[in-house]
Amino acid sequence: MAIRAVAAGSGDPGARAARLGLAGLVAVLAACAAPSSSAGGSTLHRGPEAAGCTPSEAWEATRNGQWRLAAARWNDLVQRGGAEDPIACREAGRALSRIGDDEGALEVLNMGLERAPGDPELLEVHGNVLDRMGFRRAAEESFEDALAAAPDRVSVLRSLGRVRLDLDRAAAALEPLERCRELGATDTETRLLRARALACAGQGERALEAFTEALTAADVTAEELAAAAALMCEEREVPGCRHRSRAWLERAVALDPSCAAAHYQLGRFHAARHDLDAAAACWRRTIELDPDHVPALQLLAEWYADRGNEAQAARFARKAEQASRRVRR
């Protein structure tokens, strides 16, 4: 197994803190100061509802989706010697991540990986936590290791495809997503990821077919419809692409009139047809719904400038700059 880019080291608190940040340093130093505690990353205390619990009680909390209770119970088991049990580490990590303690989750998952470096489910949870923390290359590595142990695990194939897309590696993302399709995966998320990978890989006709298939699902959201349209509306060489993109946007607005992304993309569609007044109306609606939508603010600044309204152009340019600074924080 390759060394994890952000895995906790075996003994140097300083090296571990460099990877985990200030919150991780606090947890690591607490662990070093308290040798009786095995779960260095978890800041949970063992309350009366968790102290002395059994594995079956911890599993019950997990099955019921009581993630804070599950985290406390699995954490209690790990601290009472369960760090030797990869399953306890895995489930403690899963529960901790569900309640937002990703650094604590990473610490306890690394303990489990020290004892079971090839456990595919442990590696999958580890990869998901790394992905949420923004460590996508390290997450990719964990998913690849999980697939080395369980090549047909659809959930890992899907996650690997997603993280490669986020790394702008569409062609590499296609391989695991096509394998999901071969294994019979028909869920909306997998279908949309595959369609997105095809679009980003420059396979417009196949992407349009894949999006059309995926977006027939009953559980599709307005945001997903808008995202598909954003990818496909510029595919001028694919017959029918712009027409379908327009239909997806209209469906998105009907499904959720408060979807800012759908109104923004409708504005782009109107602009491409040189109907700039209709475009500006869509962008004004966008910033009503999302005042920090930087592209819509910038386009409105340009629209006012083109009409000679310098005061409004300056006003929207200033709003765009302010929103951009807020978004970067």
Average pLDDT, integer, range 153-175: 98
| Each residue's pLDDT tens digit, 209-263 | 999 999 999 999 999 999 999 999 877 788 889 899 999 999 999 999 999 999 9
Residue 2 DSSP class: P
Instruction: Give the pLDDT score at 35.
Output: 36
CA separation, residue 156 to residues 86, 126, 290 (Å)? 19, 11, 34
pLDDT band at residue 266 using 50, 70 and 90 as cut-offs: very high
The candidate with the shortest Cα–Cα distance to 263, out of 226, 213, 316, 314, is 226
Instruction: Give the pLDDT score at 84.
Output: 75
Is 87 in contact with 109 (CB distance < 8 Å)?
no
Instruction: Give the pLDDT score at 326.
Output: 87
Is 133 in contact with 110 (CB distance < 8 Å)?
no
Instruction: Give the pLDDT score at 228.
Output: 96
Is 233 in contact with 270 (CB distance < 8 Å)?
no
pLDDT at 11 over 50: no
Q: What rounded mean pLDDT belongs to the chain?
A: 86
Domains in the chain (CATH in brackets) are 1-133 (1.25.40.10)
Counting beta carbons within 10 angstroms of the beta carbon of residue 154, is it exposed (0 to 12), middle (13 to 18) or buried (19 or more)?
middle
pLDDT at 205 over 90: yes
| Each residue's pLDDT tens digit, 22-31 | 333 233 323 3
Instruction: Encode burial over 267-287: b for 16+ CB neighbours within 10 A, e otherwise.
Output: bbbbbeeeebeebbebbebbb
Q: Where are the alpha helices (DSSP H) in 116-183?
A: 120-132, 136-149, 154-166, 170-182
3-state DSSP percent of the chain in helix, strand and coil, to 5: 70, 0, 30
Tokens 């964990």 belong to 142
Instruction: Give the pLDDT score at 236.
Output: 73
Written as one string, the DSSP assignment of 81-110 is: TGGG-HHHHHHHHHHHHHTT-HHHHHHHHH
pLDDT at 177 over 70: yes
Please state, in angstroms and rounded to a whole number, the distance separating the CA atoms of residues 59 and 197: 37
pTM: 0.79
pLDDT at 200 over 70: yes
Angle at CA 152, nearest 5°, toward 218 and 185? Answer: 15
Instruction: Give the pLDDT score at 51.
Output: 76
- Residue 97, CB-side half-sphere exposure with 13 Å CA sphere: 21
